[in-house]
C-alpha cells in the first residue's frame, strides 16, 4: 500500500466531503465519502493495512468535526476507534465474500455506516444533554447507511480504477480454464 497516495486520496475525499456532499444531501441526509473509501480499503488492502487505514480515516473524520456544537465535550477518537474496530471485523469477515462483488461493497458500506452512526448516537446521547433520543439518532443513521450503501459501488468502481496508483489489489484471483 502506498501511504503517500493514501494521504492524498484522504485529503481529496475530505475536501469532497465538506464541499460537494452538502449539495448531494437528500432531506439533510449527507453521503459519506469517507466511509466509501474506508470500505474500499477494508475489501482490498492487506489485513494490517486495512485496519490501519480504517483507523486513520476515522481519525480524519473526527478532526473534520472536532466537537458537538455548544458543548464542552469533544468527540475526537470516537470515529477513529469505531472505524478501526469495524475495519478489524471487516478483515475477518471478508474471507467469506467475493471482494470484487458490488453486493459486498453495498453490505460492507451499509454495516460500517450504520455501526458508526449507532456509536456516535450513543455517545451523543450519553455524554451530552441530547434530548432527541437514541431512536432518532438510530433512524437517521439508518437513512445515512442506506445512502452510503447506494453510492458505495460507484465510489469503489472509481477507486478500483486507481488500484495500481494506490498500491492495493485483490488477493483473490479467479481464472478460467
- pTM value > 0.95: no
Answer for the pair 91, 47: CB distance below 8 angstroms, yes or no.
yes
Q: Residues 105-123: pLDDT tens digits?
A: 999 999 999 999 999 888 8
Question: What is the rounded distance in angstroms from the CA atom of residue 125 to the CA atom of residue 135?
Answer: 10
- Scanning 74-133, the segments in alpha helix (DSSP H) are 78-93, 102-127
What is the domain partition of the chain in residue ranges?
34-166
Question: What is the rounded distance in angstroms from the CA atom of residue 11 to the CA atom of residue 172?
Answer: 29
Q: Residues 35-58: pLDDT tens digits?
A: 999 999 999 999 999 999 999 999
Amino acid at each position: 500500500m502506498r501511504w503517500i497516495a493514501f494521504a492524498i486520496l484522504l485529503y481529496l475525499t475530505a475536501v469532497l466531503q465538506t464541499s460537494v456532499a452538502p449539495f448531494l444531501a437528500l432531506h439533510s441526509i449527507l453521503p459519506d465519502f469517507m466511509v466509501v473509501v474506508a470500505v474500499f480499503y477494508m475489501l482490498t488492502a492487506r489485513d494490517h493495512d486495512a485496519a490501519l487505514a480504517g483507523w486513520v480515516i476515522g481519525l480524519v473524520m473526527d478532526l473534520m468535526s472536532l466537537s458537538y456544537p455548544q458543548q464542552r465535550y469533544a468527540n475526537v477518537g470516537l470515529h477513529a476507534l469505531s472505524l478501526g474496530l469495524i475495519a478489524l471485523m471487516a478483515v475477518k469477515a471478508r474471507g467469506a465474500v467475493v471482494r470484487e462483488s458490488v453486493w459486498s461493497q453495498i453490505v460492507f458500506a451499509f454495516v460500517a455506516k450504520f455501526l458508526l452512526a449507532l456509536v456516535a448516537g450513543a455517545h451523543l446521547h450519553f455524554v451530552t444533554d441530547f434530548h432527541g433520543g437514541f431512536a432518532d439518532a438510530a433512524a437517521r443513521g439508518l437513512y445515512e447507511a442506506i445512502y452510503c450503501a447506494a453510492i458505495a459501488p460507484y465510489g469503489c468502481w472509481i477507486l478500483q480504477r486507481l488500484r495500481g496508483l494506490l498500491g492495493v489489489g485483490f488477493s483473490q484471483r479467479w481464472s478460467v480454464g
